[in-house]
Amino acid sequence: MNYRDRITINHDIMLGKPVIKGTRITVELILKKLSEGMTIEQILSAYPHLKREDILAALSYSADVISKEELIAT
């Protein structure tokens, strides 16, 4: 999956946080809901304009961002 088809960053929308295209739903919100134990189905029910692919794109985007982080050993 190419998350770039579903996620956008625009400094005029949600202060430049990555969002699902055509919405103001941030990748951060999706990750927060998942971390709180919501299932994909529950998120889709709470946000009916989202698609399963949007949630998977948020996960893919997050994995890509984390993979590019530089870790500093302490």
Residue 72 is assigned to a structural domain of this protein: no
Three-state DSSP string of the chain: CCHHHCEECCCCCHHHCCEECCCCCEHHHHHHHHHCCCCHHHHHHHCCCCCHHHHHHHHHHHHHHHHCCCCCCC
Residue 11 is assigned to a structural domain of this protein: yes
What tens-digit pLDDT sequence spans the chain (74 residues)? 799 999 999 999 999 999 999 999 999 999 999 999 999 999 999 999 999 999 999 999 999 999 988 777 77
pLDDT of the residue at 70: 79
Q: How many residues does the chain have?
A: 74
Task: Pull the structure tokens for residue 24.
Answer: 């103001």
Question: Cα(13)–Cα(24) distance, rounded to whole angstroms?
Answer: 7
pLDDT of the residue at 66: 92
Residue 45 is assigned to a structural domain of this protein: yes
CATH number of the domain that residue 23 is part of? 1.10.10.10
**Range of 51's domain?**
3-67
Residue 41 is assigned to a structural domain of this protein: yes
